[in-house]
A and B are shown apart, each in its own frame.
Chain A
Amino acid sequence: MKYSAFILAMAALPAAANTEINGMVEAKCVIQTDTSGVYGNPTADKLSTASSDGGVIPVVRYDVAIADYYLAKISHPTEFSSSPALSDTVTWTGETSVSQTSDAGMSAYDTNKVVYGSTTEFDLTIAGSTWFKTTSTASYGFGKAFPGGNYTAIVVAECIAK
C-alpha cells in the first residue's frame, strides 16, 4: 500500500530530463579552391595569370581549426598537364603570397614564408582562414608563338600536419 502511494506520488511529479549536446573541435585542415584561375595570352609566346595580362589569379583558401598544427605548401605549375604538342621549351615562373586573412596576425605569414623551387611554404600558426594567391607565367621558346589549343596546368596545394 505504501509502495503504491509512493509510485503514484512519483508519477504525479512533472517529468524533466537533461539532454546533453556534445561537440569536439579537433585539429583539421580544409583546402578550398576559392577563385578560378585563367591564363591570359598578352603576347604570342606568353601565358600569364596576371590581371594586366588579361588573366585571373587563382586563390586557394586554407581553413585550420586549431593554431600551429599544419604547414601549407603551395606549388605553382612547372609543366602543362595538357596542351597541344610543344616542340620547344617552356620557361615557368610563379609566386604564392597571402591575399586575404581572417585574422590580422596572419599577415606575418608572407614575411615568414619559405620559398624553394616552385614551392612556397607557410606555417599556419593561427586558427582561421587564409587565402593564398598563386601567379603563374609560361613563356615559350625564344619568342615563339604557343600553338593554338587548350592549355591546362595544375597548382598543388598541400596541408601537412606538423
Chain B
Amino acid sequence: MLTEFGKIFVFILLAAVFVVVAIFASKLIRPARPTKEKLLTYECGENPEGSPWIKFNIRFYVVALIFLIFDVEVVLLFPWALAYKDYGLSGFLVGAIFLLVLGLGMAYEWRKGDLEWARPVINPPVIKKQPYVKEVASQISADDNQTVLQDQEI
C-alpha cells in the first residue's frame, strides 16, 4: 500500500534521476578542454582582484533575523486559519490579538529603522557667506562681458 507521502517519495526519486541523467548525458558528449584563462574567475575579462569573499552589507543579516521572527509567528497563523470557521467570535478575537502583537512588533522594527536599507548619509558642506566673494564674482563677470564685447567689435 502506497501512502500519499510514499507517492511524493517516488516523485522525488524520479525527478532526481531525471535531473542527474540530464547532467551526466551532457557530460558524455560535451568537450572538456580547460585552459588556464578559462579557469579564471569571471571578472569582466580582468584578472581577478583579491579574495571573492568580500565584506557584505550587514543589512542582509538583519533581514534574515526579521524573517526568522516573522516566519515563526506566521506559522502559528496557519492552523488558526484552518480551524477558523469552527470557533466564531472567540477565534476571531484570539487571531486579532495575535495579529495586533505582530503588528506592534513590526511597528517597532519600522520605527527603529530596521526595515530601511542602508543609504549614504548626505552631509552637504555648509558654505559660509564671505563678503568679498560677491565683489570678485562681479568683477570677473564684468571682465568677461568686456572681453565678449571686444570680440564682437573685432
* A and B are interacting partners: no
